[in-house]
């Protein structure tokens, strides 16, 4: 689990792609600003790239290798360590190039180290702004889930179901109350770090057990998780809202109920999660489904950038939500 959640995940392919684009864009802007004529742009850009690219590639390789260590430190300690690393790599590369080549427009070594620190600061400020843009999704997800839990419809039916079991099945009623308490405890927590998949599955089973009290035989759930890695890390409250959507939008409108199929497996170092439920095109409940899906997409982007995706399909009276994310243990 990542301890320094504010530091970008430097093992993420999407993060490195963004770093490549930002640095090369800054190099292109520099070439434009220093070009006296249009014909000077490409030669100047090539000259800049001859020095920038080795520093950039060495930096990404070094950051990838050192990330597990840096990520254990506090945020500002990690930023300072990365700045010093970039300055050191820039100094070494410029010292090496100055012995072999003579560039007319490339600044001296000390000025280059200062520019390297500035570019590094710009890159990490970009990631800081990106995280701030997505961070409200975390609080919003908890609020939406909590509001769904305290929905009078849900509470009224759950409490009535528990009351009906107190005399005839006291142990089952007690278990249901414990499930409700656990749900509220998780939803009230500050859910920012990744959690083990097994923990999220346990929460989902507790939620479905409560829904089973009122829907009874109308609700059928099939778990296809024999190949599931229980220690895989996922964002919290990802599966439970999807199952809630499946119950509310798929099972409740059906007179005879239906079956929810949960499939979890790994393929090519990726974790795949699929939730499949009945679907009726004329179902008015579906109008509120997009908000939860949008929130989950935002949180997947926050944690995994371009390496995660959420896809929905509706066909043959079935609605399927498929999540793909990197396998992290």
Domain range spanning residue 80?
13-134
pLDDT digits (tens, 9 = 90+) for 24-50: 999 888 888 888 888 888 888 888 888
Looking at the structure, tell me whether residues 175 and 229 fall in a common domain: yes
In 3-state terms, what secondary structure has residue 11?
coil
Is the model more confident about 329 or about 25? Answer: 25
Residue whose tokens read 């499949």: 276
- DSSP structure class, residue 102: -
CA 324/CA 271 separation, integer angstroms: 6
**Residues 61, 19: one domain?**
yes
- Rounded Cα distance between 203 and 215, Å, is 18
Least confident of 53-62, 100-109, 319-328: 100-109
C-beta of residue 112 within 8 angstroms of C-beta of residue 120? no
Which tops the pLDDT comparison, 294 or 148? 294
Alpha-carbon distances of 207 from 16, 36, 67, 74, rounded to whole Å: 38, 67, 37, 36
Judge if 109 and 152 occupy the same domain: no
Residues 47-86 have pLDDT tens digits of 888 888 888 999 999 999 999 898 888 888 889 999 999 9
CA distance 225 to 328: 17
In the listed set 68, 102, 134, which residue is the last one of a domain according to the structure?
134
Confidence of residue 137 (pLDDT cuts 50, 70, 90): low
Residue 313: in which H helix or E strand, if any? strand 309-315
Residues 158 and 300 in one domain: yes
233/87 same-domain check: no
The answer to whether position 87 is within a domain reads yes
- The number of residues making up the chain comes to 329
Q: How far is CA 184 from CA 85, 142, 158, in A?
A: 45, 11, 14
Task: Judge whether residue 319 has pLDDT over 70.
Answer: yes
As beta bridge partners, residue 222 has 261
* Residue 182 pLDDT greater than 80, yes or no: no
State CA 18 to chain mean position distance: 16
Q: Which pLDDT score, from 0 to 100, does residue 287 have?
A: 52
Q: Taking the model in full, what pTM does it have?
A: 0.67
**CB-side exposure of 305: number of CA atoms within 13 Å?**
16
Q: Are 48 and 27 in contact (CB under 8 A)?
A: yes
Pairing assessment for the beta strands 258-267 and 219-224 based on DSSP bridges: parallel
> pLDDT tens for residues 203-236?
888 888 888 877 888 999 999 999 899 999 998 8
Weakest mean pLDDT among 106-115, 141-150, 167-176, 298-307: 141-150
């Amino acid at each position: 689990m990542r301890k320094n959640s504010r530091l970008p995940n430097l093992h993420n392919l999407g993060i490195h792609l963004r770093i490549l684009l930002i640095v090369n864009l800054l190099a292109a802007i520099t070439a434009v600003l220093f070009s006296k004529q249009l014909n000077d742009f490409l030669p100047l850009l090539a000259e800049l790239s001859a020095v920038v690219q080795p520093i950039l590639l060495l930096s990404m390789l070094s950051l990838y290798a050192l990330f597990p260590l840096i990520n254990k430190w506090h945020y500002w300690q990690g930023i300072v360590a990365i700045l010093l690393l970039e300055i050191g790599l820039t100094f070494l590369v410029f010292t090496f190039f100055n012995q072999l080549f003579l560039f007319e427009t490339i600044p001296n070594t000390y000025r280059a180290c200062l520019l390297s620190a500035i570019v590094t600061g710009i890159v990490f400020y970009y990631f800081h702004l990106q995280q701030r843009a997505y961070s409200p999704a975390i609080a919003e997800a908890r609020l939406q889930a909590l509001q769904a839990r305290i929905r009078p419809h849900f509470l009224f039916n759950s409490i009535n179901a528990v009351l009906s079991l107190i005399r005839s099945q006291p142990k089952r009623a007690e278990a249901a109350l414990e499930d409700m308490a656990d749900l509220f405890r998780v939803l009230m927590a500050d859910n920012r770090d990744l959690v083990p998949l097994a923990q999220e599955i346990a929460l989902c089973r507790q939620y479905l057990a409560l829904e089973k009290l009122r829907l009874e035989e109308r609700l059928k759930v099939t778990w296809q998780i024999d190949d599931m890695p229980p220690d895989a890390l996922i964002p919290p409250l990802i599966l439970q809202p999807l199952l809630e959507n499946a119950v509310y939008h798929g099972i409740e409108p059906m007179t005879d109920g239906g079956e929810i199929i949960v499939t979890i497996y790994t393929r090519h170092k990726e974790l795949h999660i699929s939730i499949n439920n009945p679907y009726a095109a004329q179902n008015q409940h579906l109008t509120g489904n997009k908000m939860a899906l949008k929130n989950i997409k935002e949180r997947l982007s926050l944690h995994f950038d371009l390496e995660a995706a959420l896809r929905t399909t509706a066909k043959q009276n079935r609605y399927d939500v498929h999540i793909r994310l990197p396998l992290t243990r």
